[in-house]
C-alpha cells in the first residue's frame, strides 16, 4: 500500500482539483472535453491536452468528449475533422458513442442570444471594425460606449433577426454583450458574440449567415454537455471572467469550471498551427505529415509510437509556468519504447566494400542473428555471409585514434554474428582519398563471432553480404530548425532558421535481405545506427524500400569526439 502510494507520480494541480471535487461530492463524475478547431492538423502540443482530458476521464471513470469547435467556417474544413479523429484514435483514446460539434448547438446558441437580448445584456452594433477598435480603448485607457448600446430590446431583437436572415452585409453588424467598456480586462469591453459570415459551413452548409464567437460558444457548449472541468491553455486566463459572465447572466443550470495550464513548447521546433500551415503551404516540408513535423501524423510517419507520446506527456507533467522542453526528452521516450519492442536488423547506411581473401569465392553461408538481444521470444533469423561484404564507411580508419575500436590497419574486429576478420590491406583512390575496398582474412573457427581461443576483440561492427544485400533508400531526419527557439528573435523570420540538413537522403544503403518482409509503419532498429520505420506514404521508391530514421541510438562515442 505505502509502496504503491509513494511510487506513484504525484497528481498535477488540475487532477488534484478534480479529485477534490469528486471526493467532496461536488461532482459524481468528471466530464472533460478535448475541443480542437478543425483548421489544421493536431500536433504534439494537442497531445498534451488530449492526454490530460482523456486521461482524467480514464483515471476517474469519467467522460471526455471530442468536440469540434467549428464556429468559423472560413478557416475550417472537413478534411481536418477527419484527420483529427484519426489522430485521437491513434493516440489510443476513445470518445465514446458520438463526436460533438459546436455547430450542433447553433440553434440553441441562437435562442440563448435572444434571451441575452431580452435580458438587455446584448445589443446589435453597427460600428465598423475600425471604429470598433477606436471605441475599445487601449490597455491603459478605458473604452467608450458604442452609440448603438442603448437600442431598445425590441429593436435589437428585430435587427438580430435581420442579421440571421442575411439582410445585412458581412462586417456591417455584430451582436455584442453589454458588459463594461471601462473594464481593465479588454475581453469584457462589450465583446462581440455574433458576427455575419457569408461562408459555407462544412456541416451546416448555407443554413447560417451569422456565426457565434468562441467566447460565447465555448462556455455554452461546455454547459450543454455537462462538462465539469473545462481545461484550456494559459492564454485563455483573461477570458475566464467572460466565460463565467455568459453562464451567470444566462443563469444556466450547469456552470463548468475553467482551469488553465501552460502549453507545450519544444526546442528546435515551432508549435503554432499558423506557422505549421505556413511551412506546409510554402513547401518547406512535404505536408502536414512530413516526418520532420511535430504533428501527430508527422510523428506517426516518423516512427513514433502512441505509447511513446503518451509517456512523454506523462513525464513532462501539467503546470502553469512557461516552459520549453528539450527535444531530447521526446527522443528518450521513443528510444525506451522501441528498445523494448523493435526487432534488430543490420543495414549499412554508407557502404564500403570488404573482401575476405581467404573465404571461398562462391560460398554463401548462413549465420544466425538474434532479433532482440534481451528478449529470446523475438526469435532469430539467418543472415547470408559471403566473400564480399559491405561495412559502414566510418567503421574503417587508415589512422585510427587510440580509443577507436573498429577496423584499421593491423586490427581485428568482429563482424556481428559472422566471423572475426583481420585487416590485410586496403585500396584507395589517391586523388580523392576515397577508400575503395578493404581486404581482410577471416578466422574460420570464429563462426558466429566468438573467438575460439577466448581472445578479446573489442570492436563489433555490422555488415551486409554484397551478394545478397538489399539496396534501400534511407531518409535521415534531424531537427527542423537550427536554433532552440526559432521564435525568440522577433526580427528574424522563423523560416530563415530552418535546418538545411533536416532531411538527408541516403540512396546507396544496403540492408540485410530479411528487411524485404517489412510492412509499412513497422519499427525496426538498425544495429548501431538507430530506430527506423518503413515509410507509410511511399514505402517504395524506384523499386527500393524507403526507411525513415525515427531517432539515433545514444552515441557516447560520437559525443566524446
Give the residue numbers marked as catalytic. Answer: 37, 263, 273
Q: Which range touches RNA (CB under 7 A), out of 40-48, 65-73, 154-162, 465-473?
A: 65-73
Among 20, 96, 129, 452, binds RNA (CB under 7 A): 129
Site for RNA contains 414 (CB under 7 A): yes
Show the CA angle centred on residue 78, arms to residues 72 and 83, nearest 5°: 115
- Residue 176 and residue 190 in contact, taking contact as beta carbons nearer than 8 Å: yes
Among 254, 329, 504, 505, binds RNA (CB under 7 A): 329
As measured in angstroms, the least distance from the Cβ of 208 to RNA is 12
Among 417, 463, 481, 547, binds RNA (CB under 7 A): 417
List beta partners, residue 465.
389
Cβ within 8 Å of residue 237, ≥6 positions away: 260
Q: Which range touches RNA (CB under 7 A), out of 48-56, 148-156, 369-377, 470-478?
A: 369-377
| 269 versus 536: smaller Cβ distance to RNA | 269
Site for RNA contains 10 (CB under 7 A): yes
Site for RNA contains 332 (CB under 7 A): yes
As measured in angstroms, the least distance from the Cβ of 48 to RNA is 10
Among 318, 474, 476, 518, binds RNA (CB under 7 A): 318
- Residue 52 and residue 318 in contact, taking contact as beta carbons nearer than 8 Å: yes
Site for RNA contains 317 (CB under 7 A): yes
Q: What whole-number distance in Å separates Cα of residue 310 and Cα of residue 334? A: 10
- Residue 256 and residue 61 in contact, taking contact as beta carbons nearer than 8 Å: no
Site for RNA contains 525 (CB under 7 A): yes
- Residue 159 and residue 173 in contact, taking contact as beta carbons nearer than 8 Å: yes
Q: What whole-number distance in Å separates Cα of residue 317 and Cα of residue 323? A: 11
Site for RNA contains 138 (CB under 7 A): yes
Dump strand ranges (E) for 82-207: 100-101, 122-125, 174-177, 192-196
- Across 464-480, b (16+ Cβ under 10 Å) vs e yields bbbeebbebbbbbbebb
As measured in angstroms, the least distance from the Cβ of 220 to RNA is 13
Size of site (CB under 7 A) for RNA = 88
Site for RNA contains 13 (CB under 7 A): yes
Among 88, 213, 309, 533, binds RNA (CB under 7 A): 213
Please report, as residue ranges, which positions from 33 to 62 form the binding site for RNA (by CB under 7 A): 35, 37
As measured in angstroms, the least distance from the Cβ of 103 to RNA is 11
Site string for RNA, 422-461 (x = CB under 7 A): --------------------------xxx--------xx-
Please report, as residue ranges, which positions from 238 to 257 form the binding site for RNA (by CB under 7 A): 238-239
- Residue 171 and residue 199 in contact, taking contact as beta carbons nearer than 8 Å: no
Please give the radius of gyration of the chain, using alpha carbons only, rounded to the nearest integer. 31
| 196 versus 299: smaller Cβ distance to RNA | 196
The DSSP bridge pattern shows strands 100-101 and 122-125 to be unpaired
Cβ within 8 Å of residue 75, ≥6 positions away: 37, 39
List beta partners, residue 252.
none
Q: Which helix (H) or strand (E) holds 78?
A: helix 78-91
As measured in angstroms, the least distance from the Cβ of 91 to RNA is 19
The alpha helices in 294-450, defined as continuous H runs, are 296-302, 306-316, 327-341
Please report, as residue ranges, which positions from 460 to 479 form the binding site for RNA (by CB under 7 A): 460
SS3 233: strand
Site for RNA contains 323 (CB under 7 A): yes
Site for RNA contains 557 (CB under 7 A): yes
Please report, as residue ranges, which positions from 531 to 550 form the binding site for RNA (by CB under 7 A): none
Q: Which of 297, 269, 233, 284 is nearest to 87 (CA)?
A: 297
Q: What whole-number distance in Å separates Cα of residue 493 and Cα of residue 491? A: 7
Among 257, 406, 411, 426, binds RNA (CB under 7 A): 406
Please report, as residue ranges, which positions from 103 to 122 form the binding site for RNA (by CB under 7 A): none
Please report, as residue ranges, which positions from 264 to 293 form the binding site for RNA (by CB under 7 A): none
Site for RNA contains 372 (CB under 7 A): yes
Site for RNA contains 200 (CB under 7 A): no
Site for RNA contains 164 (CB under 7 A): no
Amino acid at each position: 500500500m505505502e509502496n504503491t502510494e509513494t511510487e506513484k507520480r504525484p497528481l498535477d494541480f488540475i487532477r488534484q482539483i478534480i479529485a477534490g471535487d469528486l471526493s467532496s461530492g461536488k461532482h459524481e463524475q468528471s466530464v472533460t472535453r478535448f475541443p480542437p478547431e478543425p483548421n489544421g492538423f493536431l500536433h504534439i502540443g494537442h497531445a498534451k491536452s488530449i492526454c490530460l482530458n482523456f486521461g482524467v476521464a480514464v483515471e476517474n471513470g469519467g467522460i471526455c468528449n471530442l468536440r469540434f469547435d467549428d464556429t468559423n467556417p472560413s478557416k475550417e474544413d472537413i478534411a481536418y475533422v477527419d484527420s483529427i479523429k484519426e489522430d485521437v484514435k491513434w493516440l489510443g483514446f476513445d470518445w465514446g458513442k458520438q463526436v460533438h460539434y459546436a455547430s450542433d448547438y447553433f440553434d440553441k446558441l441562437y435562442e440563448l442570444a435572444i434571451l441575452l437580448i431580452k435580458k438587455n445584456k446584448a445589443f446589435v452594433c453597427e460600428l465598423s471594425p475600425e471604429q470598433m477598435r477606436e471605441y475599445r480603448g487601449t490597455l491603459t485607457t478605458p473604452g467608450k460606449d458604442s452609440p448603438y448600446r442603448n437600442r431598445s430590446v425590441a429593436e435589437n431583437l428585430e435587427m438580430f433577426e435581420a442579421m440571421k436572415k442575411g439582410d445585412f452585409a458581412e462586417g456591417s453588424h455584430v451582436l455584442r454583450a453589454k458588459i463594461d467598456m471601462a473594464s481593465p480586462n479588454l475581453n469584457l469591453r462589450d465583446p462581440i458574440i455574433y458576427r455575419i459570415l457569408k461562408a459555407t459551413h462544412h456541416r451546416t452548409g448555407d443554413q447560417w449567415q451569422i456565426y457565434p464567437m468562441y467566447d460565447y460558444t465555448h462556455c455554452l457548449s461546455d454547459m450543454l454537455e455537462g462538462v465539469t472541468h473545462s481545461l484550456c491553455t494559459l492564454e485563455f486566463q483573461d477570458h475566464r471572467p467572460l466565460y463565467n459572465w455568459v453562464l451567470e447572466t444566462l443563469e444556466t443550470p450547469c456552470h463548468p469550471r475553467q482551469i488553465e495550464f501552460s502549453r507545450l513548447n519544444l526546442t528546435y521546433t515551432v508549435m503554432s498551427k499558423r506557422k505549421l500551415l505556413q511551412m506546409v503551404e510554402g513547401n518547406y516540408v512535404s505536408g502536414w505529415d512530413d516526418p520532420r513535423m511535430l504533428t501527430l501524423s508527422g510523428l506517426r510517419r516518423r516512427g513514433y509510437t502512441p505509447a511513446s507520446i503518451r509517456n512523454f506527456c506523462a513525464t513532462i507533467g501539467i503546470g502553469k509556468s512557461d516552459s520549453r522542453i528539450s527535444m531530447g526528452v521526446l527522443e528518450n521516450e521513443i528510444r525506451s519504447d522501441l528498445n523494448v519492442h523493435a526487432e534488430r536488423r543490420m543495414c549499412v547506411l554508407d557502404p564500403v566494400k570488404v573482401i575476405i581473401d581467404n573465404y571461398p569465392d562462391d560460398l554463401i553461408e548462413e549465420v544466425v542473428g538474434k532479433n532482440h538481444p534481451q528478449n529470446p521470444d523475438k526469435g532469430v533469423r539467418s543472415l547470408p555471409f559471403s566473400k564480399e561484404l559491405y561495412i559502414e564507411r566510418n567503421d574503417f580508419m587508415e589512422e585510427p585514434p587510440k580509443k577507436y575500436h573498429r577496423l584499421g590497419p593491423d586490427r581485428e574486429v568482429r563482424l556481428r554474428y559472422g566471423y572475426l576478420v583481420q585487416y590485410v590491406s586496403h585500396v584507395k583512390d589517391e586523388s580523392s582519398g576515397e577508400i575503395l575496398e578493404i581486404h581482410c582474412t577471416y578466422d574460420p573457427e570464429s563462426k558466429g563471432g566468438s573467438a575460439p581461443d577466448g581472445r578479446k576483440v573489442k570492436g563489433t561492427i555490422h555488415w551486409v553480404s554484397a551478394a545478397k544485400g538489399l539496396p534501400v533508400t534511407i531518409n535521415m531526419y534531424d531537427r527542423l530548425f537550427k536554433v532552440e527557439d526559432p521564435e525568440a528573435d522577433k526580427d528574424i523570420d522563423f523560416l530563415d532558421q530552418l535546418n538545411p540538413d533536416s532531411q538527408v537522403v541516403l540512396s546507396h544503403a544496403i540492408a540485410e535481405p530479411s528487411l524485404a518482409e517489412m510492412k509499412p509503419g513497422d519499427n525496426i532498429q538498425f544495429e548501431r545506427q538507430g530506430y527506423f520505420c518503413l515509410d507509410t506514404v511511399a514505402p517504395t521508391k524506384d523499386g527500393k524500400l524507403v526507411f525513415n530514421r525515427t531517432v539515433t541510438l545514444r552515441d557516447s562515442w560520437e559525443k566524446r569526439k
